[in-house]
Amino acid sequence: MRLKKLAATLKKKGPLPYLITDLVNIRYLTGFTGTYAYLVVDRDRSYFISDTRYEEYARSILPKSVEFVLQKNEFLESLKTILKKAGIRELFLEEHATPLSVYRSMKKGLRGVKLSPGGDVVNEIRMIKHPDEIEILRQAAAKTDACVRHLKGIIRPGVSEWDIAVEIEHFYRKNGCRKSSFDSIIASGPGSSMPHYATSLTKKIMKGEVILIDMGCEYSGYNSDLTRTMFVHSIDPALERIYRVVRAAQEAAVRAVRPGITTGELDAVARDSITGAGYGDRFGHGLGHGIGMEVHEMPAVKKGDLKLMKNMVITIEPGVYLPGIGGVRIEDMVAVTAAGCEVLTKSSKDITVIG
Ligand SMILES: [Mn+2]
């Protein structure tokens, strides 16, 4: 059980008692999928605070070592009761997930309790996936590959970007996913030069345009993320050139993934390849990111010293963007293995002309 493992890990070195405020981390530790909860993790006993909306459900899933504390009024009152009962004089806080408002009210209301920064320990633990988690991510990636195949039969001149976004949402939900991981990016023509383009409700796809699709699903609590760039009817030579550049850089980075390489070294593999082709200033964003219970989680795959480890799952997504003309990005999800990586997304990266 993850909560026990966390407490055991923290017992040796780390912030205990630890107030977990990040709902994703609470889900990771307890399985709770509701929208309101706090968790105080302590050495031998933990405390789970929520309100009547989730009482029956939470009680049904929490292990014996976790006490359910019903919040009747203010969160602070429930927290006070716990701290008093457990004799807690110092409480560690999750640094990325403690709102200033919560911190201030604790500071004011919890006299005699020291509030200390507790880092982001659970997020760090979450970087290394259990084989069961990798299996779910593999399935989430497969759902997205199936969606890409489905879309190839739908994309044609005259179809709007929005039609495609709706089709993706429909496909995912029909195929056992709770929803899309994020608003799908469907960028056709010049819009594709903006890495985080907002899909248009009205823009229709036209002959000769490039179409960049960035999408993912939430399946069984885990996310997929994939980008493919395709061509409609015919190919602009400038875009065909950058497609080859991006593909070569993306594949070189995928080949370089292995335990021990730093995120900065991996980022440089793709960046140097793109720079060598003359487009270095047109690749502005980082190479990728960790993915799991959140679409974007640790580690950030960009300039930095963090070493990749076996069972991390990351995206590799270089892009080249030419303002006014269009852009190309290719993104896969990969799981770091003992010797290299397993590419979880399997959609073809060959130049694809449709419609
Ligand atoms: Mn991504």
Q: Supply the mean pLDDT for the chain.
A: 96
How far is the centre of ligand 1, averaged over its atoms, from the C-alpha of 88 (Å)?
41
How far is the centre of ligand 1, averaged over its atoms, from the C-alpha of 5 (Å)?
30
Give the separation between CA 59 and CA 266, rounded to whole angstroms: 45
Q: 207: helix, coil or strand?
A: coil
Query: Which is it for the CA torsion 299, 250, 237, 202, positive or negative?
Result: negative
Give which of 184, 190, 183, 185 is closest to 210, Cα–Cα.
Answer: 190
How far is the centre of ligand 1, averaged over its atoms, from the C-alpha of 94 (Å)?
25
pLDDT in tens, 147-180: 999 999 999 999 999 999 999 999 999 999 999 9
Please indicate whether residue 4 or residue 254 has the higher confidence score (pLDDT).
Answer: 254
- pLDDT at position 1, please? 65
**Residue 19 above 90 pLDDT?**
yes
Give the separation between CA 306 and CA 333, rounded to whole angstroms: 18
pLDDT in tens, 73-100: 999 999 999 999 999 999 999 999 999 9
How far is the centre of ligand 1, averaged over its atoms, from the C-alpha of 318 (Å)?
10
How far is the centre of ligand 1, averaged over its atoms, from the C-alpha of 329 (Å)?
10
Assign residue 7 a region (left: φ > 0; alpha: ψ between -120 and 50; beta: otherwise).
alpha
**Structural domains of the chain sorted by starting position, each given as residue range(s) with its CATH number in brackets:** 2-126 (3.40.350.10), 131-354 (3.90.230.10)
- pLDDT at position 132, please? 96
How far is the centre of ligand 1, averaged over its atoms, from the C-alpha of 184 (Å)?
11
Which of 3-12, 245-254, 259-268, 341-350 has the weakest average pLDDT?
3-12
Query: Which is it for the CA torsion 302, 27, 142, 352, positive or negative?
Result: negative
Confidence of residue 8 (pLDDT cuts 50, 70, 90): confident
pLDDT in tens, 210-236: 999 999 999 999 999 999 999 999 999
Instruction: Please give the C-alpha separations between residue 282 and each of 227, 270, 331, in angstroms, as whole numbers.
Output: 18, 13, 17
How far is the centre of ligand 1, averaged over its atoms, from the C-alpha of 315 (Å)?
6
Give the separation between CA 286 and CA 213, rounded to whole angstroms: 18
How far is the centre of ligand 1, averaged over its atoms, from the C-alpha of 170 (Å)?
21
How far is the centre of ligand 1, averaged over its atoms, from the C-alpha of 300 (Å)?
11
How far is the centre of ligand 1, averaged over its atoms, from the C-alpha of 31 (Å)?
25
CA angle 153, 159, 162 (to 5 degrees): 105
How far is the centre of ligand 1, averaged over its atoms, from the C-alpha of 214 (Å)?
8
How far is the centre of ligand 1, averaged over its atoms, from the C-alpha of 202 (Å)?
25
Percentage of the residues of the chain whose pLDDT score is greater than 90:
93
How far is the centre of ligand 1, averaged over its atoms, from the C-alpha of 259 (Å)?
21
Residue with tokens 């739908």: 154
pLDDT in tens, 26-74: 999 999 999 999 999 998 899 999 999 999 999 999 998 899 999 999 9
How far is the centre of ligand 1, averaged over its atoms, from the C-alpha of 324 (Å)?
23
Give the separation between CA 59 and CA 291, rounded to whole angstroms: 30
How far is the centre of ligand 1, averaged over its atoms, from the C-alpha of 225 (Å)?
5
How far is the centre of ligand 1, averaged over its atoms, from the C-alpha of 306 (Å)?
19
pLDDT in tens, 187-210: 999 999 999 999 999 999 999 999
